[in-house]
A and B are shown apart, each in its own frame.
Chain A
Amino acid sequence: MRMNNLLIAPVIIPLLTGMVLIIFQKNIMLQRILSLVALLSTGVIAVLLMNRIKEGGIQSIQLGGWEAPYGISFVGDMFSALLLLATSIVAVGCLIYAFSSIGRKQEKLYFYPLFLFLITGVNGSFLTGDLFNLYVFFELFLVASYVLIALGGTQRQLRESLKYIFTNIIASAFFLIGIAYLYSMTGTLNLAHLSLRIAEIGQDGLITTVALLFLIVFAMKAGLLLFFWLPGSYSVPPTAIAAIFAALLTKVGVYAIFRMFTLIFYHEPQITHLFIGILAAITMILGGLGAIGYWDLRKILTYNVVISVGFIMAGLVSLTTTGIAGSIYYLIHDMLIKGLVFLIGGTIVHLTGTSDLKKISGLIRLHPLLGWMFFIAALSMVGIPPLSGFLGKVFTTQGVFEAGYYWLGGIGLLTSLLILYAMIKLFMNAFWGETILSAEEEKGTTKGLLFPIALLTVASVAMGIGAEAITGYVTQAAEELLNPNLYIKAVFE
């Protein structure tokens, strides 16, 4: 048995640290240091896990030594480990940004513990091998996000947080109903065991219906078509929080869809995966229209989150190694880049005091570094080589074409043009033109804010230029996803 306690560490470390921070609520310096240490060590563990999975295949642990499927399994495959690493990088960036932007009051109101609980939930969702535990970890990061989104308590925040909470509670209720259905039909909730049982009895109409129920639940969380709540909710919290939401929360929904529809419900792709494809196509088009239509900086960025969710799903629809590898590339790229552009967008709002693009102009004269980093991020989102978005776009499109979904690939490429238009519109309006604000008139400074932005830019550029280094990992992740037996074997041996 490949028992590996390392798997539990990415969940335990932030949880423990968060609890310690609640006890030392008043000591802000300690809070900052400890949360940074916790997130950095999770990152290190993610790298260790990646290498161990590369050598020994998928790792698993049965908590308390109770054998699967009776006990609770934690499973780490390459896909999870890559996402863990990306999560840690983005979280460190957003945390450092929060140091100099979130404000004393919020820091004392349990910002750091909540941030760490959010990461606990996200990491746990990536690693758990049990459907009910997936629900628990979803709730964990959702509860943390409910508080974080309302932190500060302005009227707009409370209004949007209410919508956000209602949407998520409804989705969670459906999640539970789906779990109940699945349990009554298969008698198990262990993901590997579910996969085994459904493969044995066949995926009949009823199971496919439940699969679609799960799809709706996760689509709501991921912002796949059901993204009506997203532009509002993601534009109200403080910048560091909005950035971590945009980078991570929808991606957990994306992860759940990938896991469910490669490990469990993979028998009827002509129904389920085609449906995902249609949702993805509509999502990309609507998101693209939103991104080019709005003149509000935050709205444009949130609609970009929506587009990328659609694009990542396209790779899943193809069910080819190339397509899924492309999706994984793009998913990791998107976590980094969405954290990055939200931090930059928040900094622009912080400097100018407005998010209306028509009132912002010529920032590049006083903030050249910010401007050019935004330009790099924009090009990367569009997929200009050699930046990080390029490989994801190429592989996903190639995989989708290989599988014969020409319309989906075509829409994916078309929306790249829409992203290009939206991002260049943002760049031209915010950074070029006449400088209307002098250094004295600006509402804030970029002191302490540029370092985390630079950190994420470097990470993103490194991922693009050093793509060779992670190709092996990504391909392995895609192969593991397409071969459910590897996952099952890792849990039951």
Chain B
Amino acid sequence: MNVFIEHLRVLRATLLRLLLTPNATLLNVLIIGIALSLPVGGYVLLKSVQSLTGQLAGTPQVSVFIKIGTGAGEVARIGDKLKQHAKIERTEFVPREAAFKKLQQSTELSEVIGDLAQNPLPDAYIVYPKATDAIAMESLRDELKTWPNLDHVQLDSAWVHRLEAILGFGRLAVVILAALLSFALIAITFNTIRLQILTRRDEIEVAKLIGATDAFIRRPFLYFGLTQGLFGGMAAWVIVSGSVLLLNHNLTDLASVYTGEFSLQSLSAADSVALLGFSAYLGWLGAWFSVSQHLWQIEPR
């Protein structure tokens, strides 16, 4: 009595059965693969865009520009007032000379800026609020606007919130797509197993007559569903990874025109394992539904 060897035997028989009908197997695996690659592809796209916003935005902040010509004492007083504000986590002072130098160094505008006789930039504070949701930040901005000697208060990350909202929408769409196509996968497996049970009716009947347990009869079908789902997951992985590779090749050219850095991320190891595990599980589930639906109907007479 060796349970492990029995499972190995069933696995081997299952693989042989898949190879015995290569066309049907290939078709099923492709259908599952394509169905799964849609939500997985959407996930990859979302994740890439999300990491892009992470790069650009960092933590949300408010820039406070002080009127040009304000005295150093007044600037320091404003700094203290900001620091003591209940809604502000911390502040960072950017003196106008430092900002000017940085601007000269960092952009292609340096030639134009170099010609300027005097520094056009104001002193500024970068304010990191305690609450970073859109409503809290907007109310903070409105409050600071009323302070004297401030030229301009700018919410640096308002667009990030908007993008977040769009991404949230995208995520929901991917989840709905994934749920629907998971049902499709279960249905495909359900039907495949149903046909198999019908064609192996004699075998099931004889096995029951000579003392097979329900678990023994169920096992090859569950393995079949599991294996087919796993292969479908592998197909989806190949489809998505191949597409990412192909698209990235073209994206590099496109992104370089806009002096940007953007590429689609390929599936991480954890994502790949999750994809394969999930597709195998769905295959198993479809087989299980099918078996519990159809097997009890076959009783020897």
Partners in one complex: no
Q: Which residues of A contact B (CB under 8 A)?
A: none
B residues at A contact (CB < 8 Å): none
